[in-house]
Chain A
Amino acid sequence: MGASLALGFARAGASVTMVDAGDDRFHASVGNFGLVWVQGKGATCPDYADLSLRSAKAWQGFAETLEDGTSTDAPLGYRRCGGVKITLGAEELDAAAAGLDRMHNQSGPAGADMILLDRDALRDRIAAIGPEVSGGTFCPHDGHADPLTTLRALHRALRRAGVRVVRGKALRVSAEANSEPSGQGFVIETETRRIACGRVVLAAGLGNTPDICEPLGLRAHLRPQRGQIVVTERTARFLDPVCHSVRQTEDGTVMLGDSKEEVGFDTSTTGDVTRAILDRAVRCFPHLARVRMMRTWGALRVMSPDGLPIYQTSERYPGASLVTCHSGVTLAAAHTGEVATAILENRLNASYPAFSPARFDARSEARSEATT
């Protein structure tokens, strides 16, 4: 998230320093699944569906600008192969059909391209499905990429673009009068440094704590939501579209899991969840029963109360903005492109009204009205 934005700022000609706390276990960018996923996003928020779609469409170009052809690193492996959310049994298929109807009615272009596949139509795309599979929903804009090589490529691109990367955790960000043209500047303090700047963008995921945000007139409302992931040994290619909870990497390993747990800052894994992930995966693809699990891990999603991004420029300090979402991979292309541009052109709030944190105030007022 931070690296995507920083690259966008630098490419637009800004002088950029990125304060990066590094790859500790709470960083979503080193734990996530690697989907570039559009389908189902923003079922209740067309603006989010549209942003996800625009980002997915920009991803190929984004990946090409990151792969400069000189690196010996593994490629990003981005493939817009289409995505399937598989259903098991008649009930899940009915629910998926009803959900698709809602998307078609409400969410504009992103929903319009989603289709329902019955069992036979799905088997034409994926021969390996098991007898319980009843079908699924398919979206041609979905795809996947290797999140680790993407992060490395972003960091290489940052170096090429002249971004200064400072390792450390921002402990405090304060607004101070200084000599910037706006008359307003900011000081970011880490354990070892003080960095003065004209503008500041908070993009620290779960590190966007109230202590950091509130003095700047920003509100993040974030909580961690744990997802557990299982990865298998390499196996022959069987999955061309990517599935919502099953993805086969370029290397042939299979990543499984879309669990959601509210357990705070805890990245451990549990037998119950692993078993549930494996059980569903084997019902979808029975041959996985013979493929060995190699590793599991837990990672924390950066989750807002309604799951949507929060984009906010401070009213009190217009040089300070907050950008956060749980889909850092899907939205990476948008963050490097249109969102970075909107921030530089001082129109983040105006361009993305649906992602203002004011929506949470409105809701809590509505709730308190309902209770009185």
Chain B
Amino acid sequence: MTLWTRAIPASETVMIHVNGQPVTASPDETVATVLLRMGLRSFGLHPVTGQPLAPACLMGVCFGCLCQIDERPGTQACLEPVRDGMTVQTERPDAP
């Protein structure tokens, strides 16, 4: 279940893979909004406490949206525009 949907229809779509699953997205959005639309609430775990992290700011400040994007671990999903063929791996693929 997700709280997030697109308000404006995508003008064009690209395909990315999130935790191995193909997802359509729009090149005008970031990885973070794609994950939120998919219903993911946590993208990764705190490296010290192991607690799940969630994005809070969506503008590059809180570091709550870190995940692995195209083999780069610890990438801020909210600052990463979607590109066709991108692969995204969250640390908790089973998150609700």
Known: A233-B63, A234-B63. A251 touches B74 (CB 8 A): no
Which A224-257 residues sit within 8 Å CB-CB of chain B? Answer: 233-237, 250-252
Known: A233-B63, A234-B63. A252 touches B74 (CB 8 A): no
Q: How far is the CB of B36 from chain A (nearest CB, A)?
A: 21
Q: How many A-B contacts if CB must be within 8 Å?
A: 17
User: Counting CB contacts under 8 A, is A347 at the interface?
Assistant: no
**Distance, CA A250 to CA B66, complexed state (A):** 18
User: Residue of B at shortest CB range from A290?
Assistant: B73
**Distance, CA A153 to CA B47, complexed state (A):** 26
- A236 pairs with B47, CB closer than 8 A: yes
**Distance, CA A251 to CA B47, complexed state (A):** 9
**Distance, CA A235 to CA B44, complexed state (A):** 13
Which B33-47 residues sit within 8 Å CB-CB of chain A? Answer: 46-47
User: Counting CB contacts under 8 A, is B48 at the interface?
Assistant: yes
- B74 pairs with A233, CB closer than 8 A: yes
- Chain B positions within 8 Å of A233 at CB level: 63, 66, 74
- A292 pairs with B48, CB closer than 8 A: no
**Distance, CA A252 to CA B66, complexed state (A):** 14
Question: Count of chain B residues with Cβ under 8 Å from any Cβ of A?
Answer: 6
Q: How far is the CB of A143 from chain B (nearest CB, A)?
A: 18
Which B62-81 residues sit within 8 Å CB-CB of chain A? Answer: 63, 66, 74
- B48 pairs with A252, CB closer than 8 A: yes
Q: Which of B46, B47, B66 has the most CB of A within 10 A?
A: B47
**Distance, CA A366 to CA B88, complexed state (A):** 69
**Distance, CA A236 to CA B66, complexed state (A):** 14
- B74 pairs with A236, CB closer than 8 A: no
**Distance, CA A292 to CA B88, complexed state (A):** 19
- Chain B positions within 8 Å of A234 at CB level: 46-48, 63
User: Residue of A at shortest CB range from B48?
Assistant: A252
Which B43-60 residues sit within 8 Å CB-CB of chain A? Answer: 46-48
- A292 pairs with B74, CB closer than 8 A: yes
User: Residue of B at shortest CB range from A233?
Assistant: B74
**Distance, CA A234 to CA B46, complexed state (A):** 8
- Chain A positions within 8 Å of B74 at CB level: 233, 292
Q: How far is the CB of A293 from chain B (nearest CB, A)?
A: 12
**Distance, CA A235 to CA B46, complexed state (A):** 8
**Distance, CA A236 to CA B47, complexed state (A):** 5
Q: How far is the CB of A238 from chain B (nearest CB, A)?
A: 10
**Distance, CA A233 to CA B66, complexed state (A):** 10
- Chain B positions within 8 Å of A237 at CB level: 48
- A252 pairs with B63, CB closer than 8 A: no
**Distance, CA A250 to CA B49, complexed state (A):** 10
Which A29-83 residues sit within 8 Å CB-CB of chain B? Answer: none
**Distance, CA A251 to CA B48, complexed state (A):** 7
- B63 pairs with A236, CB closer than 8 A: no
- Chain B positions within 8 Å of A250 at CB level: 48
**Distance, CA A292 to CA B47, complexed state (A):** 14
- Chain A positions within 8 Å of B66 at CB level: 233
**Distance, CA A236 to CA B74, complexed state (A):** 12
Q: Indicate with 1 or 0, residue by residue over A191-206, a CB within 8 angstroms of chain B CB atoms.
A: 0000000000000000
Q: How far is the CB of B45 from chain A (nearest CB, A)?
A: 10
Could you show 7 A-B contacts with beta carbons less than 8 Å apart?
A: A233-B66, A233-B74, A234-B46, A235-B47, A237-B48, A252-B46, A292-B74
Report B's interface with A, CB cutoff 8 A: 46-48, 63, 66, 74
**4 new A-B contacts at CB < 8 Å, known A234-B48, A250-B48, A252-B46:** A233-B63, A233-B66, A234-B47, A237-B48
Report A's interface with B, CB cutoff 8 A: 233-237, 250-252, 292
The 8 closest A-B pairs by CB, nearest first: A252-B48, A236-B47, A234-B47, A252-B47, A237-B48, A233-B74, A235-B47, A292-B74
